[in-house]
Amino acid sequence: MNVKSSVRNIISEISSVMEEIDENTIEEVISEILKANKIFIVGAGRSGLVGKAFAMRLMQIGFKVYVVGETITPSMEEGDLLIAISNSGETKSVCLASQIAMTIKGNLIGITSNKNSRLAKKSTKSIIIDAKHRTDPARFVQKGFHNEVPSFAPLGTLFEVSTFLFFEGLIGSLMERTNRKEEDLKKMHSVLE
């Protein structure tokens, strides 16, 4: 399979994943973000990198946002929000941070592909990015891709890319609801790089 075919398959699968996310839950997540005193982001590995990218955009819009594990991250308090990202929903560090958030009486948004995971069950709201088994050949036949081979997207790639795009969509909606324009974001962009 060539690179362009692989990318086309990945894009097709991501579109399918996005369509399955519940609109009402998205609205509830936006509401949680808008009312939070402080926002904390936690994720491990590539999910953590996606979370950091989202945190950067939230900061540029004007939210008080922190990445769990950074040295300048303050303590979480009641009324704060933790956004926890884990494909499996079982990542130990993410589940531990989620448990602590709930003990503090903070709110918890879980981003996972596993609706039956510890993370999903603990969360105030869960966004299910259903990217599991997306490369199963039987699924491609069911969707009418009879002559195509599933895209080569190893491990959690579909979850991570889908989550990144979901967050980018959230940013667009949050910009609109907070009356922020691209110029406002540019003012908050790092000048020390």
Domains, the chain, ranges and CATH? Answer: 3-178 (3.40.50.10490)
pLDDT of residue 136: 52
Pairwise CA distance, residues 156 & 54, whole Å: 18
By CB atoms closer than 10 A (0-12, 13-18, 19+), residue 154 is: exposed
* Cα–Cα distance, 193 to 184 (Å, whole number): 19
pLDDT value at residue 92: 96
pLDDT at 132: 67
The CA distance from 141 to 69, in Å, is 43
Mean pLDDT for back-to-back runs of 10 residues, the chain (193 residues): 81 88 94 96 96 96 95 94 96 96 94 95 93 55 49 76 95 90 75 64
- Contact 100/71 with Cβ under 8 angstroms? no
Catalytic amino acids? Answer: 160
- Residue 40 β-bridge partners: 66, 82
pLDDT of residue 61: 93
Q: Is the dihedral of CA 127, 132, 134, 139 positive or negative?
A: negative
